[in-house]
Structure 1
Amino acid sequence: MTGLTVYSTCPQSKDVAAADYLDAVAATARWSEEAGCAGMLVYTDNGIADPWLVSQTAIAATTRLAPLVAVQPVYMHPYTAASMVSSLAYLHGRSVHLNMLAGGFKNDLVALGDRTEHDDRYARTVEYTQILTALLRGETVTRDGRWHQVENLRLAPPLPTELMPEVLISGSSPAGRAAAEEIGATPIRYPEPLGAGTDTDAPTGGGVRMGIIARDDADEAWRVAHERFPADRAGQVAHAMAMRVSDSHWHHQLAAAAKAPTPPAELDAEPDPYWLGPFENYQSFCPYLVGSHDRVAAEVARYVERGTDVFVLDIPPAAEDLGHAGEVFARAGAAVGA
């Protein structure tokens, strides 16, 4: 997909029947590879299948796609995560990318006995990632850290240099952006609207997490969007409850964006494509861009012009959605190039 790095997202086991889940993972991985995605994000939390096992299924179904595995430091030692990366490389000759987590659902962390404060969680993830990546580089690691202590630790089997993973981390908060700089990771944020007439001091560079619903005709795109993510009172209540307990910066930033007035559209113009309907109804955790290919591409181009070069898309319900997203990125790339 043009010169940008685009990731799709894997379906979650909680949303698919067990008998169908492996096929759903494999199909989404193939769609993503055929659409030109560099990889596919695989979530982790207390309520879904293990991301490493899911990633093996994605690798087996494709020839080059890199699973972007969400890594929660609370779940495993950094050596274990490094061993997963090197073992998959050894068995399949394939790269695995890493999406380093600092937070997660608060109740998940409390259930595991972890009550670490927000900024300290990022400090822990920095220490964790530094040990993990040093092992992957083939170093013998000794570290007496705040959270991990290792002595003369070395990884086997070693990871081939050409399969060293890309590393991403949430960059919506100052602590997240500082952590990204310290570990050399790409900061990923949930973007604020950048449409014409929008006043924003949103961060530049790095990557964004968003969904795209685009069609040749804007009315058709919005019809699909509202059919896929209908208003849901129970979802709105769940969203409000989550807001009350969340300490995630991105959660509150998106909630503030949802309350901000939308700039009026010109007569006969398409509505602003930035849409938080799925977020407000607890159906997805990222904003969406909705509209015609050209209108959505113009919006994507605004992010690219501000230095964004990584896009992590929401879970695609069908192959055609990635095809439409690919058309958007192609037009956005052409616009920025021009």
Structure 2
Amino acid sequence: MSANPPRFGIWALVHGSRAALQDPDEPYDASWTRNRELILEAERLGFDATLIAQHTINPHDEKLDQLEAWTASAAIAALTRRIEIITAIKPYLYHPVVLAKMALQIEEISGGRFALNLVNAWNRPELAKAGIGFAEHDERYAYGHEWISVVSSLLRGERTTFKGRHFDVEDYLLRPASAYRERPRIYVGGESEPARALVADKGDVWFINGQPLADVQHLIADVAARERTGAALRFGLSAFVIARETEREAQDHLDHLFELAAKDAPLREIVKQNSDPKTVMHQTFSKSARVGTNGGTAAGLVGSYATVAERIVAFHRAGIELFMLQFQPFETDMRRFALEVIPRVRELAAD
């Protein structure tokens, strides 16, 4: 079991709805205004974190709106008071010195509530169309390892010199350093062998894509057993939640979302064509029936309020601390979860 109590976060709607884009109960909206209000409401409801995914091009359809993650995160940092702001970063898009400076600035704006989520990219057009190039899977992780080594040192306020295959940084120092802790927290996503090695070496928290409890237990055991320096690794899980008063109501809503998601089949085919086939997430979930991204309903958080709470506690006992959640309709079901499920989880976890 995690030594820390369960925490709950929400995925920001940076590219619109998470389960189905053609939902009359949740019209497509990836605007700054909606995301601002969503995250402020999440903070008022008691959620602990928000994850702001980074895309420059909408991964479903380049003609659809896409929120920019880092400028939005800086604004959210100034507007909020308590919630942790976790912002994804694809290393090829920013030099590590520039990104570290941006991260330290948001750390200052937020008063020590900022974290970055290192992801090594799966959406080919974002990099290829920009002329950056889309390196082979393992090479992206080798690049990411050097990149986060530079960033981590700079975030600690260290005078940094780094000479590697990709970066040559000489005597670099960033100020102000964090006034609140050693450095902002580093989350790492990805489940391939290079991803596991990277998180064991450089991460503070491993973000696992939603999947059944037994699979999550296996993943945690593998990475937790690896050598690392510093504090023990912590774990987070992505999941799409459907919680209702009864099992039947929850299943009916899941069936409804499957029907809506079927309308997005052409867009999902675009995502598939643009994705690196070596990405474990897409290998795993292309074969499963689910709604939502990053594993979605594969974690099984669909059912009555009591059932969903019990399943969350089971994941927590397996070592998951932070649950990064998706809903649809998002605002309505986020409020429902805060009022009906979180209290049940707190009570069960305290036993």
Q: Match for residue 86 of structure 2?
A: 68
Residues 10 and 326 in structure 2, CA contact (< 8 A), matched pair in contact too? yes
Aligned-residue RMSD, C-alpha: 2.8
State the SS of the aligned residue for 2:158. coil
Q: Match for residue 281 of structure 2?
A: 250
Task: Please report how far the alpha carbon of residue 57 of structure 1 lies from its aligned counterpart in structure 2 after TM superposition.
Answer: 2.7
d(CA) in 2 for partners of 1:201 and 1:85?
A: 32
Q: Match for residue 119 of structure 1?
A: 138
d(CA) in 2 for partners of 1:58 and 1:225?
A: 31
The change in CA–CA distance for 1:82 and 1:304 in structure 2 (over 3 A counts) is same
- Pick from 99, 117, 138 the counterpart of residue 117 of structure 2: 99
Residues 241 and 327 in structure 2, CA contact (< 8 A), matched pair in contact too? no
State the SS of the aligned residue for 2:259. coil
The change in CA–CA distance for 1:299 and 1:253 in structure 2 (over 3 A counts) is same
2:347 pairs with 1:328: no
Q: Match for residue 97 of structure 2?
A: 79
Task: Please report how far the alpha carbon of residue 253 of structure 1 lies from its aligned counterpart in structure 2 after TM superposition.
Answer: 1.2
State the SS of the aligned residue for 1:24. helix
Q: Match for residue 142 of structure 1?
A: 161
d(CA) in 2 for partners of 1:21 and 1:78?
A: 28
The change in CA–CA distance for 1:311 and 1:229 in structure 2 (over 3 A counts) is same
The change in CA–CA distance for 1:192 and 1:239 in structure 2 (over 3 A counts) is same
Residues 51 and 88 in structure 2, CA contact (< 8 A), matched pair in contact too? yes
d(CA) in 2 for partners of 1:56 and 1:292?
A: 37
Task: Please report how far the alpha carbon of residue 51 of structure 1 lies from its aligned counterpart in structure 2 after TM superposition.
Answer: 0.9
State the SS of the aligned residue for 1:187. strand
TM-score (norm 2): 0.79
Question: How does 1:216-295 map onto structure 2 within 5 Å?
Answer: 216-240=245-269, 242-243=271-272, 245=275, 246-256=277-287, 258=288, 276-279=289-292, 284-288=293-297, 289-295=301-307
The change in CA–CA distance for 1:22 and 1:200 in structure 2 (over 3 A counts) is closer
The change in CA–CA distance for 1:130 and 1:6 in structure 2 (over 3 A counts) is farther
Q: Match for residue 193 of structure 1?
A: 212
Residues 84 and 113 in structure 2, CA contact (< 8 A), matched pair in contact too? yes
Q: Match for residue 319 of structure 2?
A: 307
Work out which structure has the larger RCO, using CA pairs closer than 8 Å and 6 or more positions apart in sequence: 2
Q: Match for residue 27 of structure 1?
A: 37
State the number of aligned residues: 311
The change in CA–CA distance for 1:230 and 1:79 in structure 2 (over 3 A counts) is same
Question: How does 1:163-178 map onto structure 2 within 5 Å?
Answer: 164-178=183-197
Segments of structure 1 that go 5 or more residues without pairing to the other structure are: 259-275
State the SS of the aligned residue for 1:277. coil
Residues 14 and 53 in structure 2, CA contact (< 8 A), matched pair in contact too? yes
The change in CA–CA distance for 1:17 and 1:203 in structure 2 (over 3 A counts) is closer
Residues 160 and 169 in structure 2, CA contact (< 8 A), matched pair in contact too? yes
Percent of matched pairs sharing the same residue: 22
d(CA) in 2 for partners of 1:64 and 1:177?
A: 30
Task: Please report how far the alpha carbon of residue 228 of structure 1 lies from its aligned counterpart in structure 2 after TM superposition.
Answer: 4.5
